[in-house]
Amino acid sequence: MSFFISSPSTSHKSLPSAADISRVELPNGIVILARPNFNSPSIVFNGFIQAGSLADPEDKLGSANFTAASLLLGTQEFDYQTIYDKLESAAANLNFEGGTHVTSFGGRCLAEDFEMLIQLFSSALQKPEFPKEQVERKRAQLITNLILRSQDTAEMASLAFDQTVFANHPYSKPEEGYIETIQNITLEDLKQFHQKYYGPRGMVIVVVGAIEPQKAVEVIARYFGDWQNPHQPSPIELPVLSPMTETIQKKVFIAGKSQVDLIIGSVGPHRKSPDYMAASLGNSILGQFGMMGRIGDIVREKEGLAYYAYSSLNAGIGPGSWVVAAGVAPQNTQKTIDLIVKEIRRFVTEKVTQEELEDSQANFIGRLPISLESNLGVAYAISNLERFELGLDYYRQYEDLVRSITVEQIQETAHHYLDPDCLAIVFAGSLT
């Protein structure tokens, strides 16, 4: 199988674009995106496959994550020790991680070991064995992690926040599942999940580093070109999310904790939403820029109420979240909540200043090339272009997009998503 790929026409030091990203779709539906960089002797690849926790049965939540975590435990071609030895001897790595919509993967190696790594990757993805002894060890690790989660105030606050904001929606369910659901998952369940949901349609592989795109495509096609799964279902469609109509407060008591972690927020835009950039810049002003923006300044620096305080915008395929998070002493919980809600109200009702906007715009524009200094950063960025259908020239247009946002757009977007009278307020710890 051969493929024709035009040569890049711009410098490798420029921002990734259609001019230097080669995109090929194999006959079975796998999309390969490659960008060469011979300034480094290494190669990074990453991407995703359409198998996520949306497909988990209700009584076996965590199936997608458990399946992904078991792929490298042994295959029809390589046992666990052989996989480990091959990776170790080449100083290479390979990993899989289950997510909500997809299972992500990634690997890194020297250029001369690329085919070896793709062979291991292919074997793990297409022909896992799920050896019983290794799977039971993995199950024990997953359960241990869930026990630790139950004692982590930040993790439990986040879990309770999702259950509140995304009530009666798949996003309310944790990708890792619960102890009892992980215990319910059998070896046969893992095999059936893999057989049903793992397939080439919708799979994306990004390769960046010391290899010509033509060669990268040929190697991948050699190991994946014949892969078929006629039973692979279409991606699961999300139901409509019913918005909150009032402020809901939830407490999670965890004994013996000296810190309370709290999260306050609501639903945010999805990644392809037209107002995503306005929300992102607004979030920078609210709780990211400098010493964590307005939130960090008022809550942590001026009032001294929190160990940390910041805001974050979490956006993906479906509805995202826009939150303020803080870690406080138990006796400062209510005072901190009141202060954060007051600051959210000010953010929604008053325009940010032109200076605040310009500072955040300069920060966004300046940090983009820094995030693309490594092969890993470039591969991650290109993967997002494909996953969120942003277009291969998105980064070339990025500066103009950032600079086009106005203070009026930020206020309008904040008003749309952040209603100070309709928030989820969740906190976890030893509460007073």
Tens of pLDDT along the chain (432 residues) come to 444 443 333 333 579 999 999 999 999 999 999 999 999 999 999 999 999 999 999 999 999 999 999 999 999 999 999 999 999 999 999 999 999 999 999 999 999 999 999 999 999 999 999 999 999 999 999 999 999 999 999 999 999 999 999 999 999 999 999 999 999 999 999 999 999 999 999 999 999 999 999 999 999 999 999 999 999 999 999 999 998 999 999 999 999 999 999 999 999 999 999 999 999 999 999 999 988 999 999 999 999 999 999 999 999 999 999 999 999 999 999 999 999 999 999 999 999 999 999 999 999 999 999 999 999 999 999 999 999 999 999 999 999 999 999 999 999 999 999 999 999 999 999 876
What's the pLDDT score for residue 261?
97
Is 42 part of a structural domain of the chain? yes
Range of the domain at 100: 22-224
Q: Which residues contact 243 (CB under 8 A, 6 or more apart)?
A: 267
Pair 255, 217 in one domain? no
Residue 308 structure tokens: 């940390």
Pair 206, 253 in one domain? no
Residue 2 Cα to chain centre, angstroms? 33
CB 230 within 8 Å of CB 128:
no
Pair 83, 202 in one domain? yes
Is 287 part of a structural domain of the chain? yes
Q: End of a domain among 175, 191, 224?
A: 224
Pair 218, 295 in one domain? no
Residue 241 structure tokens: 């999310």
CATH number for the domain spanning 354: value is 3.30.830.10
Is 231 part of a structural domain of the chain? no
Is 173 part of a structural domain of the chain? yes
Handedness of CA 168, 169, 171, 175 (dihedral sign): positive
What's the pLDDT score for residue 432?
61
In the block, which residue shows the tokens 């674009």?
17
Backbone angles phi, psi at 186, to 5 degrees: -100, 170
Burial group, residue 198, by CB count within 10 angstroms (0-12, 13-18, 19+): buried
Q: End of a domain among 165, 192, 224?
A: 224
Q: For the chain, how many structural domains are there in total?
A: 2
Is 236 part of a structural domain of the chain? no
Pair 42, 142 in one domain? yes
Pair 68, 209 in one domain? yes
CB 54 within 8 Å of CB 100:
yes
Please give the angle made by the CA atoms of 324, 271 and 196, to the nearest 5 degrees.
110
Pair 190, 260 in one domain? no
What's the pLDDT score for residue 214?
97
The rounded distance, in Å, linking the Cα atoms of 91 and 397 is 37
Pair 194, 314 in one domain? no
What's the pLDDT score for residue 3?
45
Q: End of a domain among 224, 240, 275?
A: 224
In the block, which residue shows the tokens 């500072």?
359
What's the pLDDT score for residue 12?
35
Is 89 part of a structural domain of the chain? yes
What's the pLDDT score for residue 44?
98
The rounded distance, in Å, linking the Cα atoms of 332 and 254 is 17
Is 241 part of a structural domain of the chain? no
Pair 280, 395 in one domain? yes
Pair 170, 284 in one domain? no
Pair 308, 407 in one domain? yes
Pair 200, 134 in one domain? yes
Is 419 part of a structural domain of the chain? yes
